[in-house]
Amino acid sequence: AQKVTQAQTEISVVEKEDVTLDCVYETRDTTYYLFWYKQPPSGELVFLIRRNSFDEQNEISGRYSWNFQKSTSSFNFTITASQVVDSAVYFCALSGPPPNAGGTSYGKLTFGQGTILTVHP
Amino acid sequence: NAGVMQNPRHLVRRRGQEARLRCSPMKGHSHVYWYRQLPEEGLKFMVYLQKENIIDESGMPKERFSAEFPKEGPSILRIQQVVRGDSAAYFCASSPRADSPLHFGNGTRLTVT
B51 — pLDDT class (breaks 50, 70, 90): confident
Q: Do residue A98 and residue B33 have CB atoms under 8 angstroms apart?
A: no
Q: Do residue A108 and residue B45 have CB atoms under 8 angstroms apart?
A: yes
Q: Do residue A105 and residue B101 have CB atoms under 8 angstroms apart?
A: no
The answer to whether B11 faces chain A, any CB pair under 8 Å, is: no
Task: Single out the residue of B58, B111, B59 nearest to residue B89, CA to CA.
Answer: B111
Report which DSSP code applies to A41.
T
In angstroms, the CA A25 to CA A110 distance is 10
Q: What is the pLDDT of residues B52-79, one digit of tens each?
A: 899 899 999 989 999 999 988 999 999 9
In angstroms, the CA A115 to CA A6 distance is 7
What is the per-residue pLDDT for A44?
A: 87
Each residue's pLDDT expressed in tens, for chain A with a length of 121 residues: 899 999 999 999 999 999 999 999 999 988 899 999 999 998 889 999 999 898 888 888 899 999 999 999 999 999 999 999 999 999 999 998 877 777 777 788 999 999 999 999 9
For residue A93, give how far its alpha carbon lies from the nearest alpha carbon of chain B (Å): 10
**Interface of chain A against chain B, CB under 8 Å?**
35, 37, 42-47, 50, 91, 93, 98-101, 104-114
Q: What is the pLDDT of residues B3-44, one digit of tens each?
A: 899 999 999 999 999 999 999 999 999 999 999 999 877 899
What is the per-residue pLDDT for B1?
A: 53
What is the average pLDDT score of chain B?
A: 93
- B31-44 burial, b if ≥16 CB within 10 A, otherwise e? bbbbbbbeeeebbb
In angstroms, the CA A26 to CA A5 distance is 9
Please tell me whether residue A108 adopts helix, strand or coil conformation. coil
In angstroms, the CA A112 to CA A35 distance is 10
Report which DSSP code applies to B86.
G
Residues of B in contact with A42 (CB under 8 A): 106
Residues of A in contact with B99 (CB under 8 A): 98-101, 106
In angstroms, the CA B111 to CA A18 distance is 37
Q: Do residue B101 and residue A114 have CB atoms under 8 angstroms apart?
A: no
Q: What is the pLDDT of residues A104-118, one digit of tens each?
A: 777 889 999 999 999
